[in-house]
């Protein structure tokens, strides 16, 4: 049944032009979003994959980039096998034409792959070549979502400060809230203008989720003078766990589940946001300036 449903979804999506196809590339800028958490295991990858799919259901084209290099698992989550990854691109190897992989569920993906930490600081020429490869490819999508690893590290700063918006994901437990706040504080330090939104995942009730969100919102407002918008709460839901095991995203496998409905609401909310592109140049131009690059700047 799952297979039939996904074939049908694919067929329907193929028939519907994406927002970009409808409006013409130049009129609809690509919205780049980094999905970030303070801790691992809070559901960042599940959120990224399923939010991406929910956006494709609204006829937006979505590329999901696994930037959790070494620990990434997007390809496993959607059951695809990638021969080329972000790690390969950053070490200047592999066949770039196979970097972007279609999935069965409407989103396209770039796998993280594996690399040693020292390889994540490639020299400037490799970075500029990689960015050149990505620029045109990214511009074809309405949304490019980056699933970043947990926390802030030096290699994540360029992506984090170049995207149009940040989505912070946390669970309601106090240590996770503290860690997410620390990560957001760093983002704010580097780029105070970036809009930050929040998702509270694995809440036992809506009330618990809202209370956790309010805590982060209150500290951000008090200490950073930053408004953090709540994108939504996802309850603890067995549909998520069973779907991870089945390697089928929960919004496709169990569309009526609580988690699926919550994620769909978030996708609708995201598409109502004004484009953040208005206040800054394109994502790749910013990344090029921040990721050790001067030649393209």
Residues in contact with ligand ADP by the rule CB under 6 A = 37, 40-46, 201-202, 234, 236-237, 240-241, 244, 259
Please, which residue, 41 or 102, has the CB nearer to ligand ADP?
41
**E strands of the chain, at which residues?**
31-37, 62-66, 101-102, 108-110, 143-150, 165-170, 196-203, 228-235
C-alpha to C-alpha distance for 7 and 14, rounded to whole angstroms: 10
Which among ligand ADP, Mg ion, none contacts residue 57 (Cβ within 5 to 8 A by kind)?
Answer: none
Binding residues among 267-296 for Mg ion as defined by CB under 5 A:
none
Least distance in angstroms from the C-beta of 263 to ligand ADP: 9
Q: Site for Mg ion (CB under 5 A): how many residues?
A: 2
Buried (b) or exposed (e) across 134-171, using 16+ Cβ within 10 A? Answer: bbebbbbbbbbbbbbbbbbeebbbbbbbbbbbbbbbbb
Please, which residue, 74 or 233, has the CB nearer to Mg ion?
74
Which among ligand ADP, Mg ion, none contacts residue 236 (Cβ within 5 to 8 A by kind)?
Answer: ligand ADP
For residues 75 and 66, is the Cβ–Cβ distance under 8 A?
Answer: yes
> What's the token pair of residue 217?
């919102």
Which among Mg ion, ligand ADP, none contacts residue 42 (Cβ within 5 to 8 A by kind)?
Answer: ligand ADP
- Residue indicated by tokens 């589940």: 257
Among 6, 45, 50, 59, binds Mg ion (CB under 5 A): 45
Please, which residue, 168 or 195, has the CB nearer to ligand ADP?
168
* Closest C-alpha to 259, from 53, 62, 8, 31: 53
Least distance in angstroms from the C-beta of 48 to ligand ADP: 8
Least distance in angstroms from the C-beta of 40 to ligand ADP: 4
Please, which residue, 43 or 195, has the CB nearer to ligand ADP?
43
* Closest C-alpha to 46, from 247, 211, 212, 209: 247
Please, which residue, 121 or 247, has the CB nearer to ligand ADP?
247
Per rule CB under 5 A, is residue 170 in the interface with Mg ion? no
Least distance in angstroms from the C-beta of 239 to ligand ADP: 8
Least distance in angstroms from the C-beta of 103 to ligand ADP: 16
C-alpha to C-alpha distance for 239 and 224, rounded to whole angstroms: 36
Please, which residue, 131 or 199, has the CB nearer to ligand ADP?
199
| Segment contacting Mg ion by CB under 5 A, of 38-46, 92-100, 126-134, 167-175 | 38-46
Edge-to-edge, what's the strand order for the sheet holding 165-170? 101-102, 108-110, 62-66, 143-150, 31-37, 165-170, 196-203, 228-235
Three-state DSSP class for residue 272: coil
Q: Which stretch of DSSP H or E encloses residue 178?
A: helix 174-190
Least distance in angstroms from the C-beta of 36 to Mg ion: 11
> What's the token pair of residue 130?
């990689």
Please, which residue, 41 or 132, has the CB nearer to ligand ADP?
41
Least distance in angstroms from the C-beta of 144 to ligand ADP: 18
**Which parts of this chain interact with Mg ion (CB under 5 A)?**
44-45
């Amino acid at each position: 049944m799952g297979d039939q449903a996904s074939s049908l979804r694919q067929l329907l999506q193929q028939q519907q032009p994406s927002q970009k196809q409808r409006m013409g590339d130049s009129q609809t800028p690509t919205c780049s979003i980094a999905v970030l958490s303070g801790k691992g295991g809070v559901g960042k990858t599940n959120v990224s994959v399923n939010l991406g799919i929910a956006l494709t259901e609204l006829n937006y084209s979505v590329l999901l980039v696994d930037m959790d290099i070494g620990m990434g698992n997007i390809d496993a989550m959607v059951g695809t096998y990638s021969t080329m990854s972000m790690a390969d691109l950053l070490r200047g190897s592999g066949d770039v034409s196979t970097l972007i992989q279609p999935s069965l569920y409407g989103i396209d993906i770039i796998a993280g792959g594996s690399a040693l930490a020292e390889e994540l600081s490639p020299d400037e020429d490799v970075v500029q070549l990689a960015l050149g490869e990505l620029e045109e490819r990214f511009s074809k999508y309405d949304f490019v979502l980056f699933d970043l690893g947990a926390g802030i590290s030096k290699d994540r700063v360029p992506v984090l400060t170049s995207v149009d918006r940040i989505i912070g994901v946390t669970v309601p437990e106090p240590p996770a809230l503290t860690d997410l706040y620390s990560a957001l504080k760093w983002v704010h330090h580097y780029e105070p203008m970036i809009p930050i939104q929040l998702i509270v995942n694995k809440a036992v009730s809506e009330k618990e989720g809202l209370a956790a969100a309010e805590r982060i919102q209150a500290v951000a407002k008090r200490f950073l003078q930053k408004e953090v918008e709540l994108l939504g709460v996802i309850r603890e839901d067995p549909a998520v766990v069973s779907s991870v095991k089945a390697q089928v995203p929960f919004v496709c496998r169990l569309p009526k589940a609580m988690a699926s409905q919550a994620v769909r609401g978030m996708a609708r909310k995201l598409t109502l946001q004004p484009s953040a592109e208005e206040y800054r140049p394109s994502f790749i131009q910013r990344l090029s300036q921040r990721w050790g690059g001067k030649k393209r700047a």
